[in-house]
Amino acid sequence: MIDINTIRKDFPILERKFNGKRMIYLDSTATSQKPIQMIEAISDYYKKYNANVHRGIYGLSEEATDLYEKSRKNISSFINSRNAESIVFVRNTTEALNLLSYSLGKKLKKGDEIVTTVMEHHSNIVPWQFLQENGIKIKFVDINEDGTLRMEQFSELITKRTKIVSVTHVSNVLGTINDVKYIGKIAHENDSYFIVDGAQSVPHMPVDVNSIDCDFLAFSGHKMLGPMGIGVLYGKKEILDEMDPFMGGGEMINEVHLSGATWAEVPLKFEAGTPNVEGAVGLSAAVDYLKKLGMDNVREHEKELVKYAMDRLENFDDIILYGPRNPEIKGGVIAFNFKNVKNAKIAKALMDEGIMIHPHDVASILDIDAVMVRSGHHCAQPLMERLGVPATSRASFYIYNDRDDIDEFIRALVNVKKVLKL
């Protein structure tokens, strides 16, 4: 079980007060807060071990290299990858997906197709759109009314022309946990590469790349207690081996002559330039923290919170929730709006959209009570269009949140209509 009081003590930032009130951080889907163990691991690295990696002959450089590679192994075991060489350090999920768009994209020909979904974050749409100029077509699986994917469309849309299937594991808006194992099976039956965007799953639940049988998994360190600027691309080694590098420069080469160069082995082939060693060390410390809690416990904790929050929100007759109601298939994220009730005096424009209060105003008013939620399109504009709203508010939960946070959130939410005199 998760002991919330012990956990909270590990997160110094949660002691901050805003407007004299305890900070209620409900935006972990954007970025998580950081435990002191992670912060100290980075400071310790700079105090004792800093040197450039993979090149110095001296002992200190070997120690730094050892730390960097141990971090890789630790993260590898966290997602049950068979070997550490499958872990490529990148900046974030976005960079991982751009790497794939570039390197896998080189293998694609005019007329080839990519299948993804309407619930994707922009980072799993825009990199693929880059390939449209080469005559590559992108197809999108739609959602049902309850915010789950229309699973039957995968077998309709994936054909022999489909070379890549790239799907989010958990939606950063709807919270939907997608059955990626099932989707991967259809992708592989059609000889397509199968990519999972794990930005919202790896931090929050057990993720096993062998069980999912994905070819690639992308995730960001900063959403899972780690520092910003470090992320991971997991790839099956035999596929990484045959891919061209993304960026050229130091570290990624075998030998360089004026006439050309050959590449280093995987994963260094994809890690051009001096890597983010502090980031890798910090992420490894974050992974240690999560391993100690147990990812099953993390998932259970969030499932309980999301259920509690949805139950409380259902008492509002004018709040609409987006995404599944079943906590078994929903991550710790709730997107919502105040819906338009008849005869409410609201802005004419918003009336057309069926919502009563713009999410920015909701977030601004909650902020006065130190309740921090996100508002906007959450980098998922195609999904907003699909839902027929310009934006939503979004509250999300992590290991340091509890029922008290949700009670404060609900209390602040009641205040929104009062402030706007609605």
- Taking the complex as a whole, the smallest distance from the CB of residue 381 to other proteins amounts, in Å, to 7
Distance CA 5, CA 402 (A): 10
Q: Find the binding residues for other proteins in span 8-67 (CB under 8 A).
A: 19
Radius of gyration over alpha carbons of the chain, in Å? Answer: 22
For residue 421, state whether it binds other proteins (rule: CB under 8 A). Answer: yes
Q: How many residues bind other proteins (CB under 8 A)?
A: 27
For residue 348, state whether it binds other proteins (rule: CB under 8 A). Answer: yes
Distance CA 5, CA 403 (A): 12
Nearer to other proteins, 86 or 337 (CB): 337
Query: Which residues are CB-neighbours of 180 under 8 A, at least 6 positions away?
Result: 167, 169, 196, 212, 214
For residue 381, state whether it binds other proteins (rule: CB under 8 A). Answer: yes
SS3 category, 8 = helix
Query: Which residues are CB-neighbours of 243 under 8 A, at least 6 positions away?
Result: 103, 104, 235
- Taking the complex as a whole, the smallest distance from the CB of residue 216 to other proteins amounts, in Å, to 28
Provide the sign of the torsion angle of the four alpha carbons 291, 293, 297, 298, taken in this order. negative
CA dist list (Å): 326 to 154, 281, 323: 22, 37, 9
For residue 352, state whether it binds other proteins (rule: CB under 8 A). Answer: yes
379 catalytic? Reply is yes
Nearer to other proteins, 329 or 368 (CB): 368
In 3D, which of 123, 150, 172 has the Cα closest to residue 330?
172
For residue 343, state whether it binds other proteins (rule: CB under 8 A). Answer: no
For residue 86, state whether it binds other proteins (rule: CB under 8 A). Answer: no
Name residue 167's beta-bridge partners: 196
- Taking the complex as a whole, the smallest distance from the CB of residue 178 to other proteins amounts, in Å, to 24
SS3 category, 205 = coil
- Which part of the chain contacts other proteins (CB under 8 A), choosing from 38-46, 145-153, 194-202, 367-375? 367-375
- Which part of the chain contacts other proteins (CB under 8 A), choosing from 24-32, 49-57, 188-196, 353-361? 353-361
Distance CA 300, CA 297 (A): 5
CA dist list (Å): 279 to 28, 166, 227, 282: 19, 26, 6, 5
- Taking the complex as a whole, the smallest distance from the CB of residue 348 to other proteins amounts, in Å, to 6
Nearer to other proteins, 125 or 167 (CB): 125
Pairing relation of β-strands 193-197 and 162-168? parallel
For residue 172, state whether it binds other proteins (rule: CB under 8 A). Answer: no
- Which part of the chain contacts other proteins (CB under 8 A), choosing from 192-200, 250-258, 330-338, 365-373? 365-373
Catalytic residue among 23, 84, 329, 379: 379
For residue 414, state whether it binds other proteins (rule: CB under 8 A). Answer: no
Phi, psi of 124, deg, nearest 5: -110, 20
Instruction: Name which position in 70, 137, 307, 377 contacts other proteins (CB under 8 A).
Output: 377
- Taking the complex as a whole, the smallest distance from the CB of residue 345 to other proteins amounts, in Å, to 5
Distance CA 331, CA 309 (A): 12
Nearer to other proteins, 60 or 419 (CB): 419
Query: Which residues are CB-neighbours of 313 under 8 A, at least 6 positions away?
Result: 319, 321, 334, 336, 410
Instruction: Name which position in 375, 393, 396, 401 contacts other proteins (CB under 8 A).
Output: 375
In 3D, which of 31, 26, 32, 27 has the Cα closest to residue 406?
26
Nearer to other proteins, 23 or 261 (CB): 23
Nearer to other proteins, 237 or 417 (CB): 417
Distance CA 89, CA 71 (A): 10
SS3 category, 34 = coil
- Taking the complex as a whole, the smallest distance from the CB of residue 19 to other proteins amounts, in Å, to 7
For residue 346, state whether it binds other proteins (rule: CB under 8 A). Answer: yes
Instruction: Name which position in 365, 372, 383, 395 contacts other proteins (CB under 8 A).
Output: 365
* Both structure tokens of 235: 């790839």
For residue 390, state whether it binds other proteins (rule: CB under 8 A). Answer: yes
Q: Which residues are catalytic?
A: 379
Residues in touch with other proteins (CB under 8 A): 19, 345-350, 352-353, 358-361, 364-365, 367-368, 375-377, 381, 384, 390-391, 419-421
